[in-house]
Structure 1
Amino acid sequence: MKSFGYVKARTTEDAVHSFVSLPDARFLGGGTNLVDLMKLGVEAPGTLIDVSALPLDTISELPGGGLRVGATVRNSDLAAHPAVRRGWPVLSQALLSGASGQLRNVATTGGNLLQRTRCPYFQDTGQPCNKREPGSGCAAVEGVNRDHAVLGHSAHCVATHPSDMAVALAALDAEVELVGPGGQRTLPVADFHRLPGDRPEQDTVIRPGELITSVLIPASSAGMPSAYRKVRDRASYAFALVSVAAVLAVGDDGLIRYARLGFGGVAHKPWRAVAAESLLIGAPAGEDTYRRAVEAEMSHAAPLSGNAFKVKLARDLAVDTLVRLADRG
């Protein structure tokens, strides 16, 4: 491991100032992803700015019924919080499916959003990877790509985003609050991560020196039937081949009055199924409706040589999840 500097930030202003003033700095929360990448030689920060002591470790209720989740709230605490389990079970389920208990006890909300792909070509410094070394190529395009993207990828990168939590947050219309050299700003989680295009090294739209301070969960879907389901190669401690986060509310007239749908494991970012949602809202609840909506969303898929099965898997998982939510509602 290469040597690096270390700074313990006491305030958000201190953290941002240190990032701007120190070369090749990185923020360090739980470190469950960053430290692994440092060991692999993928990341080589000049300085680690430890933000774990910042006063960002609380979950508070907002006027109107939403939640503010601090960036350093541990995944285990967020998953177990009574308000989350009661109002947004999709988020709790996503977190509990995301890693081992030991990792959830360390990993943070902000760090979870910023974790990087687990593409083996990205993690292997002996392989070409545009995400790790722009312009070197993407070995996965013609390589072993069973676990890779079927939506939104480009010739420059076919990696997928690994977070379970982020898929649920995107489906919940959550927002990210940031502070940086340019001040504070808020943006939707669904817009926080980006598709690879010709700049796959940029995972998010975060600006240099910006620090995630909290995540806002609106009250719009609180208490509605919701679920997160994940298909993986083994029953625990594995990243998603395909996952689905869904919120569905059906009125007394049998028409769908609220629908949110997100996919994980299929794209460079948590995939918000906007096309499917537009076909669901106002339509009669039922398997035929769900299937037509999800098929419209998956019509944009462009599977690679080794992962065509993901298209059917995502479609069937989403339809079955919506059927179950409607029955529950």
Structure 2
Amino acid sequence: MEIIAFGVLADERPLLEAACAPRHGVRCVEVFLNRYTAPTAGGYEVVSSSVNDVLDAPVLETLRAGGTRMIAQRATGYNNIDLARARELGMTVARVAFYSPYAVAEFAWALALAVNRKTVRAVGRTREFDFRLNGLMGRDFHGRTVGVLGTGKIGTAFSRIAHGFGMRLLGWDVVENADCHALGMAYVDKKQLFAEADLISLHVPLVPETYHLVDRGVLASMKPEAIVVNTGRGGLIDTSALVAALKSGKLGGVGLDVYEEEAGVFFFDHSLEVMTDDVLARLMTFRNVLITSHQAYYTRDAVGQIVTGTVRNVEDYGAGRTSENTLVPPGG
């Protein structure tokens, strides 16, 4: 089966090609899928998309007219796909429901530790042979309280690391996780979690109920030195409210691997351009804010599992099978 894969990163390409060979041909393109690039998929029955592709109704209609019958998303999230329209068009859609949760959980801790211990600022100084410690004082995480919003596989992996640090665990989720209970986690309402946590990490999906989960009111309720880490989805945080809180000196620090307006910005080189996103530009000016470009999942282990799962989804489609990865089954 011939596949065209959009938004394929350089490190990802050999893994995807190896997973497809020898049963499937795959054309890897670096450009992201949108209404302008969708005609490129003409003649391909299967399109593999990334989480930063746009698969709204017009794009899906263009793909369907060009012969595409199956969308294989190389990600767990799928809020970028109009599933209702895909169903109406009779297109099969699948995602990778599971890959290494440790990749994201470990990176969330990398952000938390770097923000707390001001690692980036310290490295910048030492590169200039400035070895002073002024302004670099952090805090022990041991004995402090961590709030984990979303205690699925990633949230649980994050919580295990927190337990190793000797932290008090607070959790919030629609379903309580027995593995987190075993770590000593207490499930509380959001109000208590945000008010008591010294470190807050977001691991919930982006759905209407979680959009701007962290808003102006929530930020005002947090401890003055609280650290917020988001490796989930950018829309979980009201970024304008976050900037306002940072300007007032309210937060101890922020680590962001995602940003609600990241489409068209993340994964591209804008170093020679004027940054037109005023909110993102303002975020970059805060010394207690660390922003990375949606790389938490980006380990050989996780990406390998993603591409393997994607190819399995394509083979399931070819055989008329469905699985836990199927979002829209054959025939809708």
Decide which structure has greater helix share: 2
Q: TM-score, normalised by structure 2?
A: 0.24
Q: TM-score, normalised by structure 1?
A: 0.24
Decide which structure has greater strand share: 1
Larger Rg computed on CA atoms:
2
